[in-house]
């Protein structure tokens, strides 16, 4: 069997396993965290706790949509859902420390109400996207950039469809491509009349199930120095389908705002603004895809692009169990969950003192 066919076979198998796990709503105990001497009742209790965090909505039920509410009891399930392991987009986003409405671990720990139990949550796409800038070809009128894009699951290539967006000053372009072997090259050409940093946003979906999605954003220089780190000019926090953009400098002026998914893209209209912030309404796209929101603007004479994902994944929150397995019972459970119909991996670590 040719090498490409073998890679495709394994990538397909990985996707099928993920979908079957999502349909069954099952969990897996990760063996590196098993303590063979632990009481069976303790292990079962921790597993039930891990499920409770994902299967219940918490109270109040809408704590995710209101950034000023701290949940009385914690739960990530979407309010009113009939589908097991369907998580709320805003509750998940409030776990991300980059959000202005983020919940601290101390607040989450209190809302669980179990003083003898610590936990950690990680939510991420089923597969990863990697972007590398491999070559630049300047000319008199334009500059061409060559990118290598990889899609992998634990090192195995994943066949995907890609939607590539390029954002620059007053510029937005899209390209869609099928990648069978988990690797492709994409060339991007930008006029030399455009100044300032640019952005390549890649949204990927499995060739075998459109719900298995991932994304990656790569900022690169065009006719300028290297782009500043994300968050230098704006802090972007999407919640309840409203984007809040908080300014880091008083001289910030916003120009364009975009919402990007695999199937759709839209220019956002500013709802309100003052000297320190602006808000935008986020459309409800019927697309099982991650959403990338990008804003462009100026800080005095410097052009910039800032971006955020909605939901704000990947995300990690909770206790750091590294190095403490000898002092406590720590178990990890892996689930496949859905957020806005897209499929993600969720790992829940639960631990407590040894008896």
pLDDT at position 320: 85
pLDDT digit string, tens, across residues 50-69: 999 999 999 999 999 999 99
Q: Provide the 3-class DSSP secondary structure of residue 84.
A: coil
Tokens of 17: 């396993």
Q: What is the pLDDT of residue 39?
A: 65
In eight-state DSSP terms, residue 77 is B
In this structure, what DSSP letter does residue 140 have? S
Residue 237 contacts residue 180 (beta carbons within 8 Å): no
Residues of the chain with pLDDT under 50: 1-13, 16-37
pLDDT given at position 33: 37
Residues with Cβ within 8 Å of residue 102, at least 6 apart in sequence: 94, 95, 96
pLDDT of 38:
52
- Cβ(83)–Cβ(341) under 8 Å? no
The DSSP 8-state label assigned to residue 223 in this structure reads: S
Percent helix, strand, coil in the chain, to 5, is: 15, 45, 40
Task: Quote the CA–CA distance of 238 and 101 in Å, as a whole number.
Answer: 9
- Could you tell me which residues come within 8 angstroms of residue 347 by beta carbon, excluding any fewer than 6 positions away? 30, 121, 122, 332, 333, 334, 335
């Amino acid at each position: 069997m040719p090498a490409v066919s073998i890679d495709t076979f394994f990538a397909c198998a990985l996707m099928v396993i993920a979908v079957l796990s999502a349909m069954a709503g099952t969990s897996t105990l990760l063996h590196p965290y098993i303590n063979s001497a632990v009481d069976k009742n303790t292990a079962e209790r921790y597993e039930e706790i891990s499920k409770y965090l994902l299967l219940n909505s918490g109270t109040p039920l809408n704590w995710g949509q209101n950034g000023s509410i701290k949940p009385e009891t914690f739960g990530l399930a979407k309010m009113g859902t009939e589908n097991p392991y369907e998580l709320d987009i805003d509750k998940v986003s409030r776990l991300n420390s980059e959000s202005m409405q983020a919940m601290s671990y101390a607040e989450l720990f209190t809302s669980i109400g179990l003083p003898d139990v610590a936990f950690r949550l990680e939510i991420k796409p089923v597969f990863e996207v990697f972007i590398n800038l491999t070559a630049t070809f300047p000319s008199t009128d334009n500059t061409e950039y060559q990118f290598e894009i990889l899609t992998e699951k634990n090192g195995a290539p994943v066949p995907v469809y890609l939607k590539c967006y390029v954002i620059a000053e007053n510029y937005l372009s899209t390209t869609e491509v099928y990648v069978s072997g988990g690797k492709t090259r994409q060339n991007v050409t930008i006029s030399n009349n455009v100044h300032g940093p640019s952005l390549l946003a890649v949204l990927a979906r499995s060739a075998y199930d459109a719900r298995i999605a991932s994304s990656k954003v790569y900022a690169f220089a065009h006719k300028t120095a290297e782009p500043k780190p994300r968050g230098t000019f704006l802090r972007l926090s999407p919640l309840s389908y409203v984007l809040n953009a908080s300014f880091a400098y008083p001289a910030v002026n916003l120009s364009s705002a975009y919402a990007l998914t695999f199937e759709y893209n839209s220019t956002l209209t500013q709802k309100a603004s003052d000297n320190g912030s602006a808000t935008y309404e986020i459309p409800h796209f019927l697309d099982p895809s991650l959403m990338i929101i990008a804003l462009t603007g100026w800080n005095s004479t410097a052009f910039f692009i800032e971006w955020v994902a909605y939901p704000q994944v990947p995300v990690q929150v909770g206790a750091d169990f590294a190095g403490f397995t000898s002092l406590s019972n720590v178990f990890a459970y892996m689930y496949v969950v859905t957020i806005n119909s897209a499929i993600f991996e969720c790992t829940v670590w639960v631990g407590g003192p040894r008896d």
